[in-house]
Amino acid sequence: MTAFGQVGVVGAGLMGGGIAQVSAVAGYATIVRDVNDDLLARARRTIEQSLTKFVEKQKLTAEVAAAARGRLSFTTDLLAFRSTDLVIEAVTEDLEIKNRLWAELDQICPLAAVFASNTSSLPIGAQAAATTRPDRFVGLHFFSPVPLMPLVEVIRAAGTSDETFDRATTWVRSLGKEAIAAKDTPGFIVNRLLIPYLMDAIRALEHGVGRVTDLDLGMKLGAGHPMGPLTLADMVGLDVCLRVADIMFAEFREPQYAPPRLLRQLVGDGLLGRKTGRGFYDYSVNPPTPMDLA
């Protein structure tokens, strides 16, 4: 059982850039595609900064980092994926957008190429249906930041073949990641358990159960979590948390998945967490201080 030769990543944002980086470090020629040169230049800078930090911390040698840079290429043209063996999408969490992309890639990529979605919540089967290769379609849900987080959920849709699932799992492990098998159901494993926890923490803040720091320290020091739920929500991105919660609530109609009013308010105000500098905490100061959300 072999992994893949050339890898293509569609979407050069935080997730796509991270996936491309670990793919290149693991020895795969990797093409990164986005819609304009500015987004690609930003991704290139982010990957370069990340590789430099890994070298400084002696987690990579300078030779390995240089080789990884040489394996990366950047393009705005999907036709560059004509020779790819594995294509991973990391675009907006919108099924219509993803399916338009898959239909286009289905006409471009080799018939034997495997398609994989990095979605955190959308059905893999519903994306596979937009292609002529449901047997060669799988979910690969990486976690942020990709170069540091050791887990990938490998999601098997109803039509995913054993060979595709096994090849995808082999590839994930070749990156030095741990692969876990997940069913094609909203939220898969991690978000199925995580989203209710984050929503409950936000509701507890709304109801005055504790302040931001009290809730975070309670779970960090009392439950042994590496960080509190509100810090984690800021790191994931409050807009991402809201999107995933909305998808899961629409599917299950169970109250633990329902996004609290406070989360919608913060997202509506553009306070999305670390990526915008403010969320439950203000990251413009060091150390970050809790926001006044009363």
Residues classed as catalytic: 120, 141, 153, 191
What's the token pair of residue 205?
A: 């803040």
Handedness of CA 158, 138, 189, 266 (dihedral sign): negative
Amino acid in position 117: S
Residues 127-149 as b/e (b if ≥16 CB within 10 A, e otherwise) read: bbbbbebbbbbbbbbbbeebbee
DSSP letter at 283? Answer: T
Helical H segments across the chain, by residue range: 14-25, 37-56, 62-71, 95-108, 124-128, 162-174, 190-206, 212-222, 229-236, 238-252, 261-268
